[in-house]
Structure 1
Amino acid sequence: MPYKLSATLTGHTSDVRALSTPADDLVLSASRDSTAIVWRRDSAARFASDSVFHASSRYVNAVTYLPPTAEAPKGYAVTGDQDGVINVYSLEPTKDDPDYTLLGHTNNICGLRTTPAGNILSCSWDYTARVWKDFTLLYELKGHENSVWDVLAVNEDEFITASADKTIKLWKQHKAIHTFAGHDAVVRSLALIPDIGFASCADNEIRVWSLGGDLVYTLTGHTSFIYRLAVLPNGDLVSSSEDRSVRIWKDGECAQVLVHPAISVWCVSTLPNGDIVSGASDKNVRIFSASEERWAPEEEIKAYDDVVSQQSLASHDVEKIKVETMDALNTPGRAGQTKLILNGDVTEVYQWDGSVWQRIGERAEGPSGSGPTKTYFEGKEYDYVWNVAIEDGEPALKLPYNVADSPAAAAQGFLERNNLSLNHVNTIVEYIYQNTPGQTLGTGGGEQYVDPYTGASRYQSSAASAPAAPASSYMDPYTGASRYTAAPAPAAAAPASSYMDPYTGASRYSGAPQPAAAAKPAAILPILQPVLLKDGNLGQMRTRLHQYNDDLRNEISTSSLAFDPEQERSIDDAFAYVQKCAGGKRPTNPLGGIHIESVAHALEGWPESLRLPVLDLTRLIVAYCPEVVKPPGLKERLFEALLKAANWQTPWAKSPSKPAEMNLMLVFRALANAAQEGSGAADEPWLGQVLSVVSAATYSTLTASQRKPLATMLLNVSCITLFTPLDAAGRAVHLSMLFQVMGSLALFHVVG
């Protein structure tokens, strides 16, 4: 039987980057939204989120499962993040704080595995892999000349590593005993093949090797970079790729193609029952089954196929394929083969999935005119989509750009979405100038103001998830409101392919667009209006908040912390109000003191790991309804609750935990939104008091995610005090804080 959709698991708010599938009823996923989710199959054979671990304040790029122990009868989830930190969480009992934290790697963790004996294998961009026993370092596998992308165990003493130095190494304990050479690109993933040896992938090629070093056979068919390999219980190989697909390989041939409605299928894994699990850039985990009894309902499969068929594929993706008539679909193809079919005025793209020709979209023809060929992605068109390599050893990232946009705003949005240092703004702007020859660079309608401290724009979105709404391009660390949206696109008139390795930036082809005379950057200053931080996924936020409230209510020890019915209604009213405001409507019944009190109840009483959605709601209330805190005493009441939510200490001390760091960041975002016209802030003692308290936090000791909203708050104070000055004491504190920010930026510039 062919594989068909079995289930779609929704819950992540950004790309799903890693999977672990140890049992038929258990799936672990890790995401760029900073979380790992444990999914369990219930009695009705449906998967649902069982628990969520907030494993980092940055991307979580690796996850694996550690078998049960006496301390954890259901086993452990092991996660690895961008900072090189490995966290180990018990699945019973579950809590948001890790049971163990493994330190030693100095850069991004890009792969995790475990052995039957319970050892943990990790690999990193720091050029090493490590073996951990009883949560302490056993071996360091040191010898590669570039990032180590994957590691797996042959047995408890032998390991295999794959690297960006284009080699594979076999290790006996901590000593390299053989090097496999032959790939001419980054080797990203490995998989053990029963009775043969192992498989590896680089670029769009899969190689199968014996452990003795012999190349057994090579598999080709993917049209872009292969990210992950897995093996089915019967020994068949499965791969996931940047070409939107998962492919199943049987007896050295592609047997089936599972096309996804996403550009990047980052990861793939297999369940013991033979089902296939994938994770993609559209935030979803999907399960495919060859067993008819586990297929999704027919209408759900049809809806999925319809989504796939509605994609637009850039013309250069299929430009070498000739256009045929509908009659060509009467002839069977080979798995993965693509055809262009002229259907009326539309050129449709079909692919043979192993049994039928599946419509996977339409060829998108670029608009006519003197401008560059447009690139389409999920209904949004761009003039350019580039791969930009920020630092050696780190992945290239997709930079979408329209020539009518402000280069500074586009650069800042790109850096914010990808959690990168603002030190790169000038580099990205210069890159845009050099790669848009002959184009007039616009100012985005005069609205692309940029924060001189953080570079933050006024948050006008180009996100495909909300094409008609003026949402932010800034990534919300809690909701993941921004998303990875990309499609390869060549620069206009460039003789080179735009397909570049999303990890290393390497191209399979030579050539690059010639730089042209750069247009002058659009004016950034002066900024007269405050920058408000209004981005956010309200639906996800509301769901999470009510989930936390239910959890508190259902535990005897915490039931008193839950909302009472009146408070719960006021919270729902607040969400409804913000939702309407975000949609451009102004409700007739504004929020009031009862809503502030309900929010304050949770900010002051809930455990720190549960405060994120409450804080996010608070900063949106302040942004959309500044009048709610105008009555005497309400600003002070809210400020007091926010300080308690941030665990603010006197004297101030750095946040001791990741949840506390996130809480403080969102408190700063709320205060930035409070400093706006209509809030009456500048002519009241309140603002000076806020500045006095917040100034205790030394700017240089804050994290990058905390500095940005604090600097935006200072910008906003500058804007509103243009018309209503602060008193002398408030001005002195404000200036002192501004000097701290500028001094810190100057230091970073010198160091960088």
Structure 2
Amino acid sequence: MSLDDYKLSAELLGHSLDVRAVAAADTYILSGSRDKTAKIWEYNGTAYTERLTLTNHKNFVSSVCVLDGGEWICTGSNDATICVYVAGNVEPFTTLRGHTSTVSTMAPGTESGMLLSGSWDKTAIIWKIAGFGETQPIKLEGHEAAVWSVCALKSGKIVTGSADKSIIYWTSSGEKLKVLKGHKDCVRALLSLPNDSIISASNDAVIKFWNEDGECVKELMGHTNYIYTMAFNYQLGENIIVSGGEDSTLRMWNFDGELGKPITLPAQSVWSVACLKNGDIVAGTSDGVVRIFTKESSRYADEQTLAQFSAAVDTRIRESNLQLGGVKVNELPGPEALLQKGRDDQTKMIRHPDGKVICYQWSNGKWNSMGDVVGAVDNDRGIQESSGKTLFEGKEYDFVFSVDISDGVPPLKLPYNRGDDPWMAAQNFIHENELPQAYLDQVANFIVTNSGNAPVIENASSGFEDPFTGGGRYIPGSGSDFNSSAGNVDPFTGASSYSTQQPSVPVNFVPKSSSGPTSSSSKSPSSKHFPYNQYTTIVTCDPAKVLSKLREFNNSLVDDTLKVTETELEHVIKLASGDYSSIESIDAMKKLLSWPIENLFPVLDVLRLAVCDSNVCSKLITQDVLNLIIQNISVPPANQLMSIRILLNMLGHGYGRGLIETCLANVLVAISTTKKGSANLQIAIATLLLNLTVVQLGYADETQCQHITESIIDFLLWNADPEAVYRSYRAVGNLLNTPHAPTVSAQLISTDSVMDAIRNNMSVQQQYGFEQINEIARDVVNAL
């Protein structure tokens, strides 16, 4: 018997995000997802159906476990809790609290009601659940990084595997017995064998067998990327295991090697596997699907489903060599990403099973297709599948996007060539189609994102004229180097304005690898880069251009009650010039803050300068205005940029810090919804996060440090601007200088892609400031 005998049996659809964990009981399958839910799938004799959805966690479900033959269900979460349910109930019987960070792994103990858990907080815990002679939890402390795997031996001993690359044996009372070292990267999965021997799997893509003396007696190699998960398939034999990982495959092994060819899945990550008593294999994957594979022909899926699965796999394999604007097609999200709600005007490129890449935009409460994205390149041969150029009005372009303006109106065509200025292309598109000038940032950022992060030319030539005003282009937050205070000099560049150059390759984008630069033995967080304890403000502005835009928007208002006088506009613009003495300026600004959202960005541009003064801030920023600012983080890009700059400038004085303290959680949640943006937006987010960590240097709050770290991790997963990366690393360094550094360190080390990027940035050379990036990346790794 080998994996060659297995075929797809069923696909269980219901989760909207990654299925991070699966477990199997006699009569049901349990799955946990990043969508914050766990689901119970019950078998009715012919098919699995969704029986219950468990919704008691505040953040994503990272691990699941069943105890005592399935009578008890356990779900562990990023919210640091474990919910325990009586099977069949939707409310937890009890909630276990003892970890301070994500519960990354769980496993049954050797006794009834015993549960083992491991966490990003570097600890494991032995629990005895109520109703089974509950005892005080026993905490296992000794790892230097997150605990990713736990298992119980028949002798009663406990074994833990960690991101520190080590495996530790413990007594049931919590005493450390021995440490095994041999893996070159995080230990992600453990299985117990008789006589205190174990099997381990790691990010180094190796499966190791260890005897009772702690000696590695066998290594199995076949996976080509991280191994995340293993499970015994006892129906086939005592020593048959199944594994899955980041190479999109399921594999089967015994002590002698691999059994059959791997099964490739149409998803990047196989996060978790489990085996049923009948020998079927369950896999939870990054596309949000639970898949079941069987060796019994009577349980094979129908021919149409098998053909669709095969086509999806073939497409994924083919797409692994395709690129679109420098982005690997196989790294684009699949249709499952459309299950997530979006923000107004948010766009996504989606990879479909037929190989097409289609651009979608969120509007009217749904994702609407904007047309095919062309230009896919075969990475192996270096050629495009087609000519790679699309003809539009007699000219060839790398991209011709279809843009739906409104229902019932034919889509407009937006042509673009790589290397062109996205802002100029956006301006031409707006001018030729007589669209509102307020769309400029939105269209330009759409081009940047969907053309593969094309270079953003932030400052066009001085000869450019705005066809609507006749003047130079007004880009919110840019303009002449006006400095509201001589002391507001950017400490990173030595200037009062930001001038960034996009790298040809994103500075924090690297492929996952099992090897890479390693840190030195130094663990001191001290460096010349951090702690950094000065608040940074962004204060550049051209008052004349802002005033021109305010006049334009004021004149275009349909509701006359919202309009202000020319005198009031002049009073408002004084705030942009550093004149905070006029009460008329405050009153006029309050009126402008009631403008429609599409007219608001120049108002916010002035406001972010005004709040630098604590007295003006106290008069302008009411709770309603603060809520308005936070809401605008999730709206058109120009408003988003200005809103973030308002918040980061508020942190420059005590009054502003006190206000943000009251709504920090909402601010961080709003920031986490941002997954793309221009260099200016990336720098603004990074600076806001940096300022928040400066606050923590003064009075470190553990919960706030943890939430800020999560936001930094989310941001580092997508930001590409080198200055923004540099500031983010400085923010990390600040948090590592607080008393809560161990928790921060565990969160970072447990995020593989971020750690890969940091290690890569220790040596990678880019067109902009790579020496700075190299130095601070090394300092961060040393501190971790």
TM-score relative to the length of structure 2: 0.45
TM-score relative to the length of structure 1: 0.47
- Looking at CA atoms only, which structure, 1 or 2, has the larger radius of gyration? 2
Instruction: Indicate the structure with greater helix content.
Output: 2
